[in-house]
Amino acid sequence: MHTVFCQTSLPYRDPGDDVREWRRTNGNLVLKVIAGEVVDPNTGEDVPLNLPFGAKARTILLHMNQRALVTGRAAVEMEDSLTRFVSRVLQLDPHGRNMRMVKEQLARLAASTMRLAILKDGRTLMVNSQIVTAFEIWFPKDDRQRVLWPTIIQFSSEYFESLQAHAVPLDEAHISALCHSAMALDIYAWLAQRLHRIPPGKPITISWIALHNQFGQGYNPDRVDKFRQVFRVALKEVLTVYRSARVEEGKRQQARVYMSGGHPIVREPALVGLTLHNIIARARKTNSALSAWFST
């Protein structure tokens, strides 16, 4: 996965037909996704496609990245490789409704525009580009079975070069085990990218507020406790497969009792959050012009 998508995310759930834009911010990184459209070759009319979402969109993006890196080509053939991927990694029958849903998310990803802003040193680097700059799309003749999907996709040169320099390796077995949960996939990709950047012997603590800002889409910020319950379940699933990850949840400190007007008042300190420890990683060299930006 590109490091940018390890720090920001696509929607967990379908935002609906009326939502054409999606925006996420994490620290100095801003991701904006704009839903796209395609032209029907039979009518010449524009056909709007909705925003990509959920676990399938994430795993398809992983698959496209992997194929481009393995072949060393920005053009990726999807038809046969996607069928094998659905069977091997997603463990789904590559026929019928399952494949229709996968192909639909692939089409949404290919047609959408991704706008990335990186804020650093008082400057903003804007990358306004579609990740996929060209794709060949297949239109079935039977409108009742219409599933628009690309057979070949072409990554933009900017994204492909950046992907080669800033791809975060993920374990396919881990992806297969977590592919049912968009949040679990996001947590796994984040840890795989983040733990390697922590200095050895200098663990860092991430507050629950910061975790909510990154992973809590759809959860009321005034009720972080509800988000925390769901996040803990997803994190447990991730750590079950990602066993080399060293992640600890902070323990609540002892409550303090204060006297006010002769009455005792009990105050419990806020939960600390997660403490992350280093995983030693092999350094990778890159000559990409965007290295200094994307590595932050």
For residue 65, what are its two tokens? 């990245």
Question: How many other CB atoms are there within 10 angstroms of residue 179's CB atom?
Answer: 19
d(Cα 67, Cα 73) in Å, to the nearest integer? 8
Task: Kindly indicate the confidence band of residue 130, based on its pLDDT and cuts at 50, 70 and 90.
Answer: low
**Mean of pLDDT values over 111-131:** 75
Lookup: tokens for 192 = 């795989």
Q: Give me the chain's average pLDDT, please.
A: 82
Confidence of residue 157 (pLDDT cuts 50, 70, 90): confident
Reported as a single tens digit per residue, the pLDDT across 226-277 is 999 999 999 999 999 999 999 998 765 565 666 677 677 656 555 678 999 9
| pLDDT surpassing 80 at residue 284 | no
Close Cβ partners of 170 (under 8 Å, ≥ 6 residues apart): 1, 62, 188, 189, 192
Per-residue confidence at 202, pLDDT binned at 50, 70, 90? very high
The sign one gets for the Cα dihedral 169, 93, 14, 227 is: negative
Q: Which amino acid is at 282?
A: R
CA-CA distance, 269 to 229, in Å (whole number)? 18
pTM of the model: 0.83
SS3 track for 98-109: HHHHHHHHHHHH
